[in-house]
Amino acid sequence: MSPSMEWANLFYALTGASIAYLFVNAIYRLYFHPLAKFPGPKIAALTGWYEAYHDMYRRGMFIWEIQEMHEKYGPIMRINPHELHIRDADFYDELYAPASKKRDKYKDWVMLSGTPGASFSTVSHSHHRLRRNALNPFFSKQAVQRMEPLITEKIERLSSRLIDAARTQRVVRLDAALMALTMDIICHYSYGESYNYLALDNFKEEWKEALISALENGIFLRNFPWALPLLRSIPHSILKVLQPNAASLAEWAMLVKEKVDILIQEDSAGNKSNGSIFQVMLDSDLPPEEKSAARLIDEGQSVVGAGSETTANTLTIIMFYVLEDKNLLRKLREELASISLDESPLLPKLEKLPFLTAVITEGLRLNIGVMSRSPRIAYEPIKYQDWVIPPGTPVSESIYFVHWDPTLFPEPSKFRPERWIKAQETGFRLEKYMICFSRGSRSCLGINLAYAELYLTLAKIIPRFEMDLFETTVEDVEPERDFFVPVPKLDSKGVRIKVTGVN
């Protein structure tokens, strides 16, 4: 037999084997897989490319496909070959359960963060508890209360920039300014130094764009988790050409690495640094492998990424609706005028103001926090209605479908702070359905810091400045795409304002 015939036969054999494998795999997934009995479109059960098409080609649109699928198939369904999705606000706490019930994360899913060594990306329930316990004191209520002077100082820097904008009548991109604020706060607290984004002419608005771009890249990593080591190995010079946004994040990661390397050297020599998150981890009871440079870098990046964008976006949404509704602005100013805003500490008094609290809660509801679902894997069978979900199955709910549920929140797209005050008056526990910080053992580490930033920023900015929206509409704040966080229309120029006066 000639060599060409041998190659041809090998090709035919491989082709035939591939077709046979695909056929057998398709039959298994459709009829013999443990999830075969659950409702859902056959194409989703057959291949992960269905989800990849809507998330990668259509850019973050799979969540709307899930919405349509639920309307057709009911509250529980199979959305890809391996995962179930539930739409039931009252079942959320069972799925995202407290520490007494073990819940792992889905290994492929956590790759979207690009920081595999961070607590957020930790798959195992027990491993996550180990890592989280070391960080909890750093973000406790008491620790955050001690941060109030730092937060206030950063807000004053933002105020100075707004005073300049009033003088020059320059248009301010408020979403970028608020992102600079939250970045300077979380970096100063976590790293022990600020990068002073508030001092930059454009508030480092490219950082916001870079972070959103990185989160969209996370969709690719979610579908192709094996690609992360390859992406991390790309030389920086090439990355700057291929993906400038990713390159700017890589530059920031290099700065974090330099800081961690120096800190580890000083710690080994017995020289303790300031109370950064890295020093807290090094001083903790974590085993040595949990204190590696790679681990500290991933944790540091994750904390700053999570502690900047979500809070800034909530502030942006609140400011948009407050500036759009003069009656709402008046009511908020009247309540804030009832206390002295120059007192310190101020935060405990602000937390007792009912209308301000309702405004913040409504902003958190509309912002959602995390748009993407976050699958959990239970060790035991989970019963939902007449269905029994097998152990080891990734199951998720989406915060969006709870926060924007019209049966819980009539006219869910409307900014209605009074809905929270009415719920309190009637005794209805509406706050049960506020899940933007998630629930259970994996709830948001930075919840106390987020609330402190929201209360203090709004209390310091709203009474002091007269502002008008500039060429900005509701489309600039409403969620249109799921890039892990909610993203408005792609051609949005952000939330822009003019500062017309200083009080």
The residues, any chain, with a CB within 8 Å of residue 214's CB and separated by 6 or more, are 114, 245, 246, 249
Per-residue burial over 461-470, b if 16 or more Cβ lie within 10 Å, else e, is: bbebbebebe
Q: C-alpha 434: how far from its chain's center? A: 15
User: CA triplet 285, 290, 294: central angle to 5 degrees?
Assistant: 145
Q: How far apart are CA 102 and CA 378, in angstroms?
A: 6
Residues 352 and 338: beta-carbon distance below 8 Å: no
Q: Is 187 annotated as a binding residue?
A: no
The helix (run of H) or strand (run of E) holding residue 482 is strand 481-483
428 Ramachandran zone, left/alpha/beta (phi>0; psi -120 to 50): beta
The helix (run of H) or strand (run of E) holding residue 434 is none
Residues 394 and 341: beta-carbon distance below 8 Å: no
Residues 369 and 436: beta-carbon distance below 8 Å: yes
Q: C-alpha 360: how far from its chain's center? A: 17
Residues 463 and 336: beta-carbon distance below 8 Å: yes
Distance set, CA 107 to CA 291, 298, 498 (Å): 22, 16, 46
SS3 471: coil
- Reading the block at residue 485, the tokens are 């966080």
- Reading the block at residue 28, the tokens are 């298994």
Nearest residue to 106 via CA among 126, 132, 88, 125: 125
Task: Give the residue ranges of the annotated binding site.
Answer: 444
Task: Give the residue ranges of the annotated binding site for heme.
Answer: 444
